[in-house]
């Protein structure tokens, strides 16, 4: 159903018609599920309905002409195009709805593709070249991709397509960590492995923090990259890695197109430690009991990961809060262990609360009630705009006598 909704929205955009996705899905489900209209006919009916609503003469749903493009010429979502590409890399599908996914490319760059299971299209093989017909472009966090569905076609090419080493978007540039300012950039980095974490999925070979003299950043090395293992404390040249962004925090990903070279010199790492004292003035949305994608650990929204689609998810407990010292504000991230200690609640108790109330937000409400307005001192490494809290302590409330004494002192100094 989601695939058909995307097709309808793309066709409406071609006619300069913008309609909320939930309205399209609601009308489509009504026709298909309640009245038993075949999906193809229902889709045509929905397109024609919204065209009429906007004063446009209905058009044939299938009467679409795709344009032939190079990967590097893709500049927006919702365009129906033809591509001649080589399969650079295949990844493990993150959902049963996906038949195949990975990277394809031509001489202008590489791009992610998704082939839906319901498309019933032939299987692609790594290293082979194909003509993709009538595929739709998509965009997520500034990165383009292409989707193959039932209206798409695949033809194997007799001649080989030459695929560029790096994705479309310009040559690879060596950068400092602090210079990373957008997702989807392919860069080189000289950095030291600060910390290795336990991978959260079999698809991840290694993950953790790397740093240079300008900051630290999370990295993920995919298992299928077949790259050599990194050692904590060692310095490397990371070649052709791609930047990513999640909740305002940047990270880098290493895949088969990336390279790792050990460095003889040791990279100096800025500690990036911070300490802040202030009143907790906000417990942000996304705090409390949440579910994370089991593959990338991103928070799920209505059971869906922005990168890996619908997932069952694993529970986690955290706090995203804002502290205010009267001069500036500071955002902090508090993990499960420290959240449990600070609030006095364990994960199982939080899950029980949410199930009884039929609402996960009840946990965030409880956290707000117990913490808002109180003063805390936090410390930990900074990642982008957040302090990742390693220590947190509550300050004693200021006594009324101290307030009066400070006020009297301020008055006397003003007189002088």
Name beta bridge partners: 221. Answer: 206, 254
| Average pLDDT value for the chain | 84
| 342-346 LR contacts (CB < 8 Å, sep 24+) | 342/371, 342/392, 343/319, 343/367, 343/370, 343/371, 344/370, 345/317
pLDDT at residue number 215: 85
How far apart are the C-alpha atoms of 193 and 260, rounded to whole Å? 12
For the chain, domain boundaries: 2-53, 67-156, 173-262, 273-394
| Lookup: tokens for 152 | 């798409």
Distances in whole angstroms, Cα of residue 379 to Cα of each of 198, 329, 394:
23, 14, 12
What distance lies between CA 215 and its chain's CA centroid?
21
Enter the CATH code of domain 67-156: 2.40.50.140
* Listed range (30-39, 231-240, 324-333, 371-380) with the worst mean pLDDT: 30-39
In this structure, what are the phi and psi dihedrals at residue 21, rounded to the nearest 5 degrees?
-60, -35
pLDDT at residue number 403: 56
For residues 195 and 258, the model is more confident at 258
| pLDDT classification of 365: cutoffs 50, 70, 90 | very high
* Listed range (61-75, 124-138, 334-348) with the worst mean pLDDT: 61-75
Angle at CA 84, nearest 5°, toward 82 and 89?
A: 115
| Lookup: tokens for 109 | 């760059």
Q: Residue 386 pLDDT > 90, yes or no?
A: no
pLDDT in tens, 160-208: 998 875 544 445 789 999 899 877 778 999 999 987 777 777 788 888 8
How far apart are the C-alpha atoms of 144 and 74, rounded to whole Å? 8
For residues 274 and 171, the model is more confident at 274
* Listed range (264-273, 331-340, 355-364) with the worst mean pLDDT: 264-273
Three-state DSSP string of the chain = CHHHHHHHHHHHHHCCCCCCHHHHHHHHHHHHHHCCCCHHHHHHHHHHHHHHHCCCCCCCCCCCCCEECCHHHCCCCCCEEEEEEEEEEEECCCCCCEEEEEEEEECCEEEEEEEEHHHCCCCCCCCCEEEEEEEEEEEECCEEEEEECCCCEEEECCCCCCCCCCCCCCCCEEECHHHCCCCCCEEEEEEEEEEEECCCCCCEEEEEEEEECCEEEEEEEEHHHCCCCCCCCCEEEEEEEEEEEECCEEEEEECCCCEEEECCCCCCCCCCEEEEEEEEEEECCCCEEEEECCCCCCECECCEECCCEECCCEEEEEEEEEEECCCCEEEEEECHHHHHHHHCCCHHHHHHHHHHHCCCHHHHHHHHHHHCCCEEEEEEEEECCEEECCEEEECCCCCHHHHHHHHHHHHHHHHC
Find out if CATH 2.40.160.40 is the number for domain 273-394.
Answer: no
Q: What is the mean pLDDT of residues 156-162?
A: 92
For residues 248 and 146, the model is more confident at 146
- Find all residues with CB under 8 Å of 234, minimum gap 6, and list them: 192, 193, 262
* Listed range (50-54, 151-155, 262-266, 302-306) with the worst mean pLDDT: 302-306
Strands 215-222 and 235-246: unpaired
Strands 143-148 and 173-175: unpaired
Angle at CA 144, nearest 5°, toward 179 and 99?
A: 125
Find out if CATH 2.40.50.140 is the number for domain 173-262.
Answer: yes
pLDDT at residue number 296: 65
Distances in whole angstroms, Cα of residue 28 to Cα of each of 8, 45, 54, 148, 314:
10, 9, 18, 20, 31
Q: What is the mean pLDDT of residues 20-47?
A: 80
* Listed range (34-38, 212-216, 264-268, 367-371) with the worst mean pLDDT: 34-38
How far apart are the C-alpha atoms of 38 and 329, rounded to whole Å? 55
Longest dimension (CA), the chain: 90
Residue where the block lists tokens 């009504």: 30
pLDDT at residue number 60: 45
- Find all residues with CB under 8 Å of 348, minimum gap 6, and list them: none
How far apart are the C-alpha atoms of 311 and 293, rounded to whole Å? 6
Which residue, among 69, 101, 66, has the nearest Cα to 85 in the 3D structure?
69
Q: CATH topology of 173-262 equal to that of 273-394?
A: yes
Q: Residue 346 pLDDT > 90, yes or no?
A: yes
Report yes or no on whether pTM surpasses 0.85.
Answer: no
For residues 409 and 75, the model is more confident at 75
How far apart are the C-alpha atoms of 40 and 9, rounded to whole Å? 14
């Amino acid at each position: 159903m989601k695939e058909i909704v995307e097709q309808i929205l793309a066709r409406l955009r071609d006619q300069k018609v913008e309609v909320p996705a939930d309205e399209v899905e609601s009308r489509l489900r009504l026709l298909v599920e309640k009245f038993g209209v075949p999906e193809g006919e229902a889709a045509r009916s929905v397109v024609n309905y919204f065209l009429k609503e906007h004063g446009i003469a209905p058009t044939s749903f299938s009467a679409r002409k795709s344009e032939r493009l190079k990967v590097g010429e893709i500049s927006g979502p919702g365009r129906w195009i033809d591509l001649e590409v080589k399969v650079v890399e295949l990844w493990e599908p993150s959902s049963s709805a996906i038949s195949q996914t990975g990277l394809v490319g031509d001489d202008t760059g590489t791009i992610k593709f998704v082939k839906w299971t319901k498309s019933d299209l032939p299987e692609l093989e790594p290293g082979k070249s194909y003509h993709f017909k009538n595929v739709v472009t998509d965009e997520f966090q500034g990165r383009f991709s292409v989707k193959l569905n039932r209206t798409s076609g695949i033809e194997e090419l007799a001649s080989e397509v030459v695929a560029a080493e790096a994705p479309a978007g310009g040559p690879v540039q060596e950068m400092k960590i602090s210079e990373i300012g957008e997702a989807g950039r392919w860069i080189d980095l000289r950095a030291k492995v600060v910390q290795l974490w336990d991978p959260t999925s079999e698809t991840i070979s290694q993950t953790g923090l790397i740093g240079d003299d300008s900051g630290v950043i999370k990295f993920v090395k995919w298992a299928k990259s077949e790259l050599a293992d990194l050692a904590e404390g060692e310095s490397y040249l990371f070649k052709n890695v791609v930047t990513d962004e999640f909740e305002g925090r940047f990270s880098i990903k290493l895949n088969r197109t990336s390279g790792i070279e050990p460095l003889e010199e040791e990279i100096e790492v800025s500690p990036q430690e911070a300490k802040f004292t202030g009143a907790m003035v906000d417990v942000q949305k996304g705090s409390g009991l949440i579910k994370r994608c089991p593959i990338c650990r991103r928070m799920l929204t209505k059971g869906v990961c922005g990168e890996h689609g619908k997932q069952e998810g694993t529970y986690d407990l955290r706090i995203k809060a804002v502290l205010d010292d009267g001069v500036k504000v500071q955002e902090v991230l508090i993990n499960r262990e420290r959240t449990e200690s600070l609030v006095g609640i364990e994960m199982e108790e939080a899950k029980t609360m949410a199930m009884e109330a039929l609402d996960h937000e009840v946990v965030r409400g409880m956290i707000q009630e117990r913490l808002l307005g109180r003063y805390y001192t936090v410390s930990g490494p900074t990642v982008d705009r957040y302090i990742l809290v390693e220590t947190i302590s509550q300050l004693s409330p200021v006594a009324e006598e101290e307030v009066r004494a400070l006020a009297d002192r301020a008055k006397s100094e003003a007189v002088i």
